[in-house]
Structure formats: C-alpha cells, structure tokens
Chain A
Amino acid sequence: EAGVVQSPRYKIIEKKQPVAFWCNPISGHNTLYWYRQNLGQGPELLIRYENEEAVDDSQLPKDRFSAERLKGVDSTLKIQPAELGDSAVYLCASRRTGRSGYTFGSGTRLTVV
C-alpha cells in the first residue's frame, strides 16, 4: 500500500508570495487532514475533510489560507499571501472511517523569508 504522498518536500518563498501544497492520500481513505507543526510543537489541525466535504475548518486562518479536495481524493492547501509566521512543516494525513490511526505524509517544510 502506497503511503500518503506530499509535494513539494521543501519550499522557500518571500513573504507576500503565494504558495500551494499538494497531498495524495492512501487509496480508500475517506478522511483527510491538514496539520501544521511549528518548531518544538506537536501537529495542530488546520482542516479535516470527509470525502470532498470540509467538516472542520475552525482552525484554518481563512483570511489567507484555503484548501480544496476535489473528487474526494487529492487535496491542495494554499496560502496567499504568505507571512513570516507561516514558516512551519505542513503535514497531510489520511485514515479510513472508524477507529484507526492516521497515516501521515512526510510533510512540506515551508520557509518564508
């Protein structure tokens, strides 16, 4: 079984520029999450999808962040414009419905300069 695939692995951008991250979850996993992990912290949820529906985006800074999951499979997370404080690792995870653990991708490390 292929894991959760994220791209790019690393991204360096100047502040005020846009950036996008892509995630391909494990086949058959209905639930997809985007987490952000700051240095020295645990992952914090940004948004959760059940199939193509965003069922929890309460922690997503909607003034600059947006996400979509077309056809309930791949997902993209966008930041526009990026700020210095957005520097972090952005993790995508997926799981089947029910009591199961998440499988995380390797993450995208974003550096805003």
Chain B
Amino acid sequence: DQQVKQNSPSLSVQEGRISILNCDYTNSMFDYFLWYKKYPAEGPTFLISISSIKDKNEDGRFTVFLNKSAKHLSLHIVPSQPGDSAVYFCAAANYGGSQGNLIFGKGTKLSVKP
C-alpha cells in the first residue's frame, strides 16, 4: 500500500507559466514533507521542505503548500524554466516518532517547453 502517491506520471508546461505538481499521502503521522528533483544519471537533489505545523513554505520560484485535512501537498514553480525539466519526487517522514525514514512517491516527470 503506497503511503505517498503522485498520481500524475508526467506534466508538460510552457516556459514562463506555472507548474503545479501534486502529492497525496495516507499516513497521518507524517510530520515533515520534502520535494526532490532528479536529473537523469544523478541522485535526487533536495528542493524544498515543509513541516506539518505550516501550510506554506516559499523559496524563490518554488512554493510548497500543505493541506493536512486533505492529506495533500503541492509544489508550485513560477515561472517555469526549461532547466526545471526533471523528475520531481514527493517524500514524507515521521520525524517526531521513532522513524526518520523518507517514504517517496513514484515521481512526476516535468517537461518545460521553450
């Protein structure tokens, strides 16, 4: 049973427009959420995170929104750039408990077209 779900395998966006990547989770014990970006032949790179006590975190062009009641988070990229084309993974952890393991979704491949 997948605890972290990314239901869109791919997303295509025009350069300059907004990219919205979605993620749903089932475990209410998760208290920390992260987004990673992965280019081919490289390991995942940390992008942005959010604690469960917040509903929004912003870093430059990247904003993560958390809706705990819906167990849903999203990553907004504004404006999107061709260099943002990569696979984006949503991940969650229960750092407040005894387990600090990140659980990953299957990823969404973002393509930003010039």
Interface size counted on chain A using CB atoms at 8 A: 25
Note all chain A residues with C-beta closer than 8 A to B105.
42
Query: From residue B102, how far is it (CB to closest CB) to chain A in Å?
Result: 6
B45 CB–A CB distance under 8 Å: yes
If A42-B105, A99-B32 touch, does A104 touch B45 (CB 8 Å cutoff)? Answer: yes
Which stretch (B14-22, B69-77, B93-101) binds chain A? B93-101
Tell yes or no: A40 within 8 A of B by CB.
Answer: yes
Contact B104 A106 (CB under 8 A): no
**Residues in B whose Cβ lies below 8 Å from that of A103:** 46
Interface residues of A in 43-77 (CB under 8 A from B): 43-45, 48, 56
Question: How many residue pairs, one in A and one in B, have C-beta atoms under 8 Å apart?
Answer: 55
Asked if B64 is at the interface of the complex by the 8 Å CB criterion, the answer is: no
Do residues B43 and A106 form an inter-chain contact, with CB atoms below 8 A? yes
Pick from A42, A45, A48, A105: contact of B43, CB below 8 A. Answer: A105
In which size bucket is the chain B interface? 20 to 34
* B43 CB, nearest partner CB in chain A, Å: 4
Q: Out of B46, B49, B100, B106, which one reaches A42, CB within 8 Å?
A: B106
Q: Which residue of B lies closest to A9 (CB)?
A: B41
Other-chain residue from A6, A42, A48, A93 in contact with B107 (beta carbon distance below 8 A): A42
Residues of A close to B34: CB separation below 8 A: 101
Closest Cβ neighbor of A106 among chain B residues: B43
Q: State A36–B89 Cα separation when bound (angstroms).
A: 14
Report the minimal beta-carbon distance from B50 to chain A, rounded to whole angstroms: 11
A65 to chain B, nearest CB (A): 17
Across chains A and B, which 9 residue pairs bring their CB atoms closest together, nearest first? A42-B104, A104-B43, A101-B46, A106-B43, A104-B44, A42-B106, A107-B43, A43-B104, A99-B95
